[in-house]
Amino acid sequence: MLTQVFKHEWKILSADLTLWATTVLLLVTFAYGFHNGSSWVEFQRSTLRSIQEEEHQRLAQMKVGIENANAGRNRPPSFSDPRNASAASRTLGLKYASMPPGPLAALAVGQSDLYPYYFKVSIASKDTFLNNDEIENPVHLISGRFDVAFVILYLYPLVILALSYNLISWEKESGTLAMTLAQPVSLEGVVLGKIVFRFLFVLAIGIVLSIGGLIATGGLAQPGDVPLRLVLWCGVVALYGAFWFGVAMLVNACGASSSTNAIALSGIWLALVLLIPSLLNVGVKALYPVPSRVEMVQAMRTASAEASGKGSQLLARYYEDHPDLAGERTDTNDFAALSLATQDEIERRAQPVMDRFDEQLALQQALVDRYRFLSPTIIAQSSLLEIAGTGTERYKHFLGLSDRFHRAWRSYFYPKIARNQAISASDIDGFPDFHFEEEPSSVVAARADAGLIGLGVPALAVCGLGVFLLRRFPIVG
């Protein structure tokens, strides 16, 4: 019976312009989304290549500068002397901590255009390098980039609803439903056959275009867990589509007219895709507002002013706290050592504001995670971004690696600065290096599984309720 329904549906839909119009719409929007996504990925890769080249050239010039200074060919001031450990750790020898584009970043730009993907790490406080120097297009930052994930989250449901808003009502209004059910078939079987055919057709377009785009951009050739992520991506797309087909079946099963169905489905789309996510976003920011950037800057300035006024006291306490760094140095007017002590005091005083900022962000995220199941779009979005490697968790992972590298950088240079040790050309090769490590595949899969369950359960629920209502569907009247 299912085969016969499929053949019948193909004959009807192939003669309907709606099918071809929606197919062309998906093709065009997917292609445009891929173009935007792959362009952003290439921009990131090009930027990372540029900063790596800049770092390599700068360190090479630093070696030459040390050799020239040791040979007496030039006498640079201390702030630009490559042999000065303070100058080397702050400006001359700094290194980059960078995060490559996510494994499926061409499919979902996500928040990677908001979050910095490289830092200039120096001995200065962490707050100084967490602010990226890169200037982005403010229009992109406000509206986001049009990518494949955007098509799936916002346009994909509209295509599904356009193909299924009159699933039963059209046949009932044209008088063919009673004739169809005069055959040895049930209404549930006919409707499910229609739904499954449309579902497979739309899903095939989404999956084929996703995989085809990755092949065209070389995404499948990347090392790592790309195949696993692609399977998870297809699973989220399938369940998200199944939910919307279930909603369409449920509305059709209520027995209203085609125009009423269209209005009802449009309202559901607006509520689940736009209204609930917007209200949740406003709510979490109102309940857990983060400290303003102005407050952070003011705290740093106040701490800096207070610490600068008692530099010698701070230096004495610093050496008391770090007796291994004191060595034979007791000069309380040493600028480099004073800078270390003052910097530690400024960070200590500003830390409560930074902690409150992180705490409020964590509370916001926890609230979103708690209520995201109110909207399948929120679940699908968070899942797709995490799978693509452009979500918040991968960025937090990068921040953790950067913080660890920052601590290693300080641990390397603090003793040299405190003991006034000169930097040699051979020391440059021993400077700490940053290495980005992807999260384990099991961690990514676990987060994706939560999203799959969050989409699968409501999809089954609406489909089950739709089948139940179909058993009471009025065939005539």
Q: Can you give the residue ranges of every domain in the chain? A: 1-292+374-477
What are 132-160's pLDDT values in tens digits? 444 444 334 334 568 899 999 999 999 99
Residue appearing with tokens 């507002």: 289
Give yes or no for a contact between 190 and 4, defined as CB atoms under 8 angstroms apart.
no
Return the sign of the alpha-carbon dihedral for residues 78, 83, 86, 88. Answer: positive
Instruction: State mean pLDDT over 358-368.
Output: 82
pLDDT at 417: 82
Give yes or no for a contact between 319 and 325, defined as CB atoms under 8 angstroms apart.
yes
pTM of this prediction exceeds 0.85: no
What are 56-83's pLDDT values in tens digits? 999 999 999 999 988 888 888 877 889 9
Assigned token pair, 111: 């928040």
Q: What is the mean pLDDT of the chain?
A: 81
Q: Which of 78-82, 288-292, 360-364, 402-406 has the lowest mean pLDDT?
A: 288-292
The DSSP annotation for 393-439 comes to: HHHHHHHHHHHHHHHHHHHHHHHHHHTTPBPPHHHHTTS------PP
Band (4; pLDDT cuts 50, 70, 90): low
Cα separation, 158 vs 171, whole angstroms: 21
Write down the H helix ranges in 270-332: 276-287, 293-308, 311-321, 323-326
Per DSSP, the three-state class of 124 is coil
Cα separation, 76 vs 54, whole angstroms: 22
What are 261-283's pLDDT values in tens digits? 999 999 999 999 999 988 888 88
